[in-house]
């Protein structure tokens, strides 16, 4: 649940988006369970951000995905594709049932986003670090063509270890791209990490405060937000991208595996096949208990 919505955020809209985020989580866990493969921890940590973006922030037309004046969205942490697909399906880009084709050889819904297959994707991603460079180019392109279009890029905190992220960050600041918004899903875990004294016995990708310091040093405007507090997310994104001559970095504090009790905060749920009894618990956690006898624990 979110904290008390501020006066500037409509409480009904917050409730609507929280329910959509819950549905995104349900659909993505179902699809990964069905595929017997795929990522879970990262898509679950990003679900609230994706709900806010696809159902409130982005100016998009699912029925006209190539609309030239649309806002652009790039899932730079492309391994979280199933979260993006769930948001897109619920928003009307394609039938929700198609999510069950996730990761199949001939599906449009590949393990990593493929813009040559699925209309509505602005970029193919999966090789970490590249999405923000493409987003920088799109933001520059919007300015050169005089379009009032913003570009939003969702990155992982582990991904921020890639040097290319900082090349793009430096160039975006140099060009004063205040139509560019980078959102970092700061769940403090990556794929395996390194054993150590941190969350889940791992060294986190950054020390506390490091991302704020680094994006600030690269001359971006930086805001921090609880990435599971819908009202706070809406407030922050309402201001981002309407800038003061600087690109904006939103550091969203999140929990890997958010919403599924036994996945929360555990790096090994980055990607793992779900057992039937685990699937039943996950669905119950997400408010969609399975009918008795369908994988329910004894």
Residues that bind ligand TPP (CB under 6 A): 41-42, 45, 77, 79-80, 126-129, 156-159, 185, 187, 189-191, 205, 256, 270
Instruction: Give the residue with the Cβ less far from ligand TPP, 91 or 270.
Output: 270
For the CB of residue 202, give the shortest distance to ligand TPP in the complex, in Å.
11
Instruction: Give the residue with the Cβ less far from ligand TPP, 135 or 156.
Output: 156
Instruction: Give the residue with the Cβ less far from ligand TPP, 178 or 185.
Output: 185
For the CB of residue 59, give the shortest distance to ligand TPP in the complex, in Å.
26
For the CB of residue 264, give the shortest distance to ligand TPP in the complex, in Å.
13
For the CB of residue 60, give the shortest distance to ligand TPP in the complex, in Å.
23
Instruction: Give the residue with the Cβ less far from ligand TPP, 80 or 124.
Output: 80
For the CB of residue 226, give the shortest distance to ligand TPP in the complex, in Å.
16
Q: Minimal CA–CA distance to 231: which of 21, 23, 76?
A: 21
Instruction: Give the residue with the Cβ less far from ligand TPP, 185 or 229.
Output: 185
Q: Which residue is nearest to ligand TPP (CB)?
A: 156
Instruction: Give the residue with the Cβ less far from ligand TPP, 126 or 295.
Output: 126
For the CB of residue 297, give the shortest distance to ligand TPP in the complex, in Å.
27
């Amino acid at each position: 649940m979110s904290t008390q919505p501020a006066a500037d955020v409509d409480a009904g809209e917050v409730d609507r988006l929280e329910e959509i985020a819950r549905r995104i989580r349900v659909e993505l866990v179902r699809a990964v369970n069905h595929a017997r493969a795929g990522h879970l921890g990262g898509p679950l940590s990003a679900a609230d951000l994706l709900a806010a973006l696809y159902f409130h922030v982005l100016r998009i037309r699912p029925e006209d995905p190539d609309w030239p004046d649309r806002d652009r969205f790039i899932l730079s942490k492309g391994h979280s594709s199933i979260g993006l697909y769930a948001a897109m399906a619920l928003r009307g880009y394609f039938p929700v049932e198609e999510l069950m084709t996730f990761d199949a050889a001939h599906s449009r819904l590949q393990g990593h986003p493929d813009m040559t297959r699925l209309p509505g994707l602005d970029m193919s991603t999966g090789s970490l670090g590249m999405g923000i460079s493409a987003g920088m180019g799109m933001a520059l392109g919007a300015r050169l063509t005089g379009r009032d279009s913003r570009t939003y890029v969702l990155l992982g905190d582990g991904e921020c270890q890639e040097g290319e992220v900082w090349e793009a960050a430096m160039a975006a600041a140099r060009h004063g791209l205040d139509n560019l918004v980078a959102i970092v899903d700061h769940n403090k875990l990556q794929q395996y990490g390194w054993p150590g004294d941190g969350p889940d016995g791992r060294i986190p990708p950054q020390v506390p405060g490091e991302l704020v310091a680094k994006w600030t040093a690269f001359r971006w405007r930086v805001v921090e937000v609880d990435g599971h507090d819908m009202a706070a997310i809406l407030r922050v994104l309402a201001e981002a991208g309407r800038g003061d001559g600087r690109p904006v970095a939103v550091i969203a504090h999140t929990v890997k595996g958010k919403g599924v009790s036994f996945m929360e905060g555990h790096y090994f749920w980055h990607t793992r096949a779900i057992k039937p009894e685990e699937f039943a618990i996950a669905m119950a956690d997400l408010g969609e208990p399975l009918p008795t006898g369908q994988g329910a624990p004894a």
